[in-house]
Amino acid sequence: MADLSKPVIVLVRPQLGENIGKAARAMLNFGLTEMRLVAPRDGWPNPSAGPAASGADIVLEQARVYDTTAEAVADCAHVHATTVRKRGVTKPVIGADEAGRLVHTLPGRHAIIFGPERSGLETEDVALARNILTIPINPEFGSLNLAQAVILVAYEWSRIGRELGDAGEVLVQPTAEEALPPAPQEELDAMIAHFEKLLEPRGYFRPEARAESTRRTLRGLLTKPGWNHLEVRTLRGVLSTLEREMRD
């Protein structure tokens, strides 16, 4: 049973096996697995696709090949054509975020079609679509490679799904390092006293009338970061090294 919340990624006349593999890798990063290929130039399967997929083998293994774009999207109720140009076809123009929202909210299968690397989709391909999917891009350099285009669309689909709360945890945030708690006050006091011990004989707290204010400012500076005990220990080590050099 197809998961209708996941779009089908259709690569129309892709030219290089490496690009198909990279597109598969981009798809699987965001939980998409259904790839369809329309008349791949070098045939299918392509030995160059596997290494470029970097482990996204399930996408390549399940990829289906069609002779025409019309056949590839025949079972889809909604087709979105990725292109930066309308190519003489009048269609509604949407962004990747809106396309992702449509996939999650409109019933029926959705297909997102991508054109060949060199030339993009032809007019007859775009004519099959309900709308044109494009993104704001530098008008002086509107050149995305195939995998980049796929990953942008896949990411927006995933992001919108999490926003709507109906797509499960498609993305998992990389685990952040667990932060150590701030050092106990006694360790901070010892570090501050160490600073003062080194600074006092060098006249840092002069004139005497401003010494108390200078000490408070120094304490505020050293306590503001919320050092953990390892950081305090490192700073104490730095001070001890400087102290030894001064004695020498």
Cα separation, 100 vs 98, whole angstroms? 5
Contacts of 159 (CB under 8 A, 6+ apart): 97, 100, 171
DSSP-H helix ranges across 54-173: 57-62, 69-72, 96-105, 123-126, 146-164
Specify the CATH number of the domain 8-164.
3.40.1280.10
Cα separation, 79 vs 131, whole angstroms? 7
Q: What is the pLDDT of residues 147-186, one digit of tens each?
A: 999 999 999 999 998 888 754 444 555 555 567 788 889 9
Contacts of 33 (CB under 8 A, 6+ apart): 6, 27, 58, 59, 62
Q: Which of 86-100, 167-181, 207-221 has the highest mean pLDDT?
A: 207-221
Residue 226: band (very low, low, confident or very high) from pLDDT cuts 50, 70, 90: confident
What pLDDT shows up at residue 1?
46
Assess whether pLDDT exceeds 90 at residue 69.
yes
pTM, full prediction:
0.69
Q: Assess contact for 78 and 132: CB atoms under 8 A.
A: no
SS3 97: helix
DSSP secondary structure code for residue 182 in this structure: B
In degrees and rounded to multiples of 5, residue 111 shows phi and psi of -120, 140
Q: Read off the pLDDT of each residue in 237-246 and give the average, rounded to a whole number.
A: 86
Which sequence spans correspond to the domains of the chain?
8-164, 185-247
What pLDDT shows up at residue 176?
53
3-state secondary structure 14-54: CCCHHHHHHHHHHHHHCCCCCEEEECCCCCCCCCCHHHHHC
Mean per-residue pLDDT of the chain: 88
